[in-house]
Structures are given as C-alpha cells and as structure tokens.
Homo-oligomer: A and B are copies of this chain.
C-alpha cells in the first residue's frame, strides 16, 4: 500500500543510471541511508539526476553560508510551502548539523511571525518605501 512506488535497493541495483546517483548520494553524505524522496524520484532517472545535482551543489558544497544556516532556510521555505516531508527531512539534517533546541524554537517563532506580517502587508497593500529601492 502506498501512493508512489519507492525504489528498493534491489530496484536500484537493476538500473545503472539510478545506481550511479545513489552511490553518489551515499558517498557525498558518508552514510548508507538514502531517504524516500530519492526512492520516489528514481522512477525518472533524469529527474533524479538533475534534482540530486542541484541539491548536492547547493547543500553539500562549501559556500558563503554555513551548513546549519542553509538547512534552517530550507526548513523555513518548506513550512511556508506546506511540505511536511521536507520539514521533517531538513529538520533531521539541521539537527545533525548542530541546530539546538533553542535555535529550533526561535526558527519556528520567526517563521510564524513572518507569516503573520506577510499576510498583513498583502492585506494592506503597503507600497515599498523609496528608501528600500536599489539606486
């Protein structure tokens, strides 16, 4: 019973394109565990590859933001877009990368505050202050 076919490890073995991506996920993360989003995407190997490459280059490559901050931004977007699975998987990732209970609590409150002012501004049609414009 399920709503999308999730590739088992045997299914992965049987498809070389999928297998190559799964091996890269495991090597990049240093863990044998591959979560369900990748098992669902595997039905479309090109889509799987494109999605993983985007995720890898942004979330698993050093850059201007530290890994924990990136995960918290990811969680914030996922909440606003109403994606439970994404909230779960990236909350797990953020904790693994050092997010404390207090930081998680503040993240929740900032997301809730932003949502309330987002709705107020939309409701009131507030014009952008000239001070905020790029010269």
Are B3 and A132 neighbours in the complex by a CB distance under 8 Å?
Answer: yes
Quick one: copies of this chain in the complex?
A: 6
Instruction: Give CA–CA (A130, B92) in the complex, Å.
Output: 12
With A58-B113, A70-B110, A109-B47 already in contact, the answer to whether A84 and B124 are too (CB < 8 A) is: no
Are A129 and B35 neighbours in the complex by a CB distance under 8 Å?
Answer: yes
With A46-B105, A69-B72, A107-B73 already in contact, the answer to whether A84 and B116 are too (CB < 8 A) is: no
Are B106 and A35 neighbours in the complex by a CB distance under 8 Å?
Answer: no
Cβ-defined partner of A37 (8 Å) among B70, B102, B126: B126
Min CB distance A122 to B, Å, is 5
Chain A contact residues, majority secondary structure: helix
> Is A8 an interface residue, CB under 8 A from the partner?
no
Are A70 and B125 neighbours in the complex by a CB distance under 8 Å?
Answer: no
Instruction: Give CA–CA (A91, B72) in the complex, Å.
Output: 17
What residues of chain A have their CB less than 8 Å away from a CB belonging to chain B?
1-6, 33, 35-37, 40-41, 43-44, 46-47, 50-51, 54-55, 57-59, 63-65, 69-70, 72-92, 100-134
